[in-house]
Amino acid sequence: MTTTADSMLACHRDGAVATVTIHHPPANTLTPELLGELSQVFEGFAKDDAIKAVVLTGTGRFFVAGADIRLLASIASSQEGESIARQGQAILNRIESLEKPVIAAINGVCLGGGLELAMCCHIRLVAEDSRLGQPEINLGIMPGFGGTQRLPRIVGQSKALELILTGDPISAQEARSLGLVSQVFPPEDLLHQAQGLARKMAAKSLPALRASLRAIRGGADSSLAEGLVVEARLFGGLCETEDKREGLAAFLEKRQPHFMDR
């Protein structure tokens, strides 16, 4: 995987795992240009079946410190503001809809648009010295890239309201207690742990990974009854795959499966 000299993303591939590192000093600000690069990279991952899991992280002390303040200050109309929000939402939705696991390795400051970016990833791991929050209210605005929608779904409405309406950041430990992140690691171990988790997932059957992500994502916005219908249909589809036959045969023969992603 190649990266141009003027890119704000460094992409590295190790087998079936891609690691994307945001490098936009000094604070990895989430500019339209950076969002555009993320969109292109994840479009590529969607088309490349050799990539089965993705780790997204940042450089230095920042995952993403927030949105581009100069851009926010330049917005002069409600139409322009809505357009920018919709564009950002569409790109984050594209990341969330990737049918391969995306792990956010939150390596430091993760505020505003940075937390919105992290929340569109399927799994979030965090360094123990990180700070996370939605401080937009302190600027007289509100989250616009999905924060008001994803945060309540993850931590519950009451806590999401508290965080969004005060703008106060939380520690990595509190984020874990809320379920906003799943694990906390020392900063020097974070990327290694995230990549190890990605490799573990990438060793599974790609059809099974895709179906599981579809079922969970589809069920999140449906009733239980509707979600169960989706689950049953996707389970049925996997029963016809070569990987299902290989997985069960390997279990019965007490060996490791050799999935072909078919």
Distance between CA atoms of residues 236 and 246, nearest Å? 16
The token pair at 204 is: 């599974």
The sign of the CA dihedral 217, 144, 112, 174 is: negative
Pair 120, 92: CB distance under 8 Å: yes
Give first-to-last CA distance, the chain, whole Å.
24
- Name the residue with tokens 């993320």: 38
Taking residue 123's Cβ as centre, other Cβ atoms within 10 Å add up to 18
Taking residue 31's Cβ as centre, other Cβ atoms within 10 Å add up to 16
Using DSSP's 3-state secondary structure scheme, residue 110 falls into strand
Dihedral, CA of residue 180, residue 186, residue 190 and residue 193, to nearest 10: -100
136 catalytic residue (yes or no): yes
Supply the DSSP symbol for 159.
H
Q: Which amino acid is located at 223 in the chain?
A: S
Half-sphere exposure of 103 (CA within 13 A, CB side): 26
Taking residue 184's Cβ as centre, other Cβ atoms within 10 Å add up to 20
Q: How far is CA 210 from CA 48, 49, 148, 187, 214, in A?
A: 13, 11, 27, 30, 6
The token pair at 219 is: 């069920």
Catalytic residue of the set 33, 82, 99, 116: 116
Catalytic residue of the set 136, 240, 242, 253: 136
> Annotated catalytic sites, by residue?
116, 136
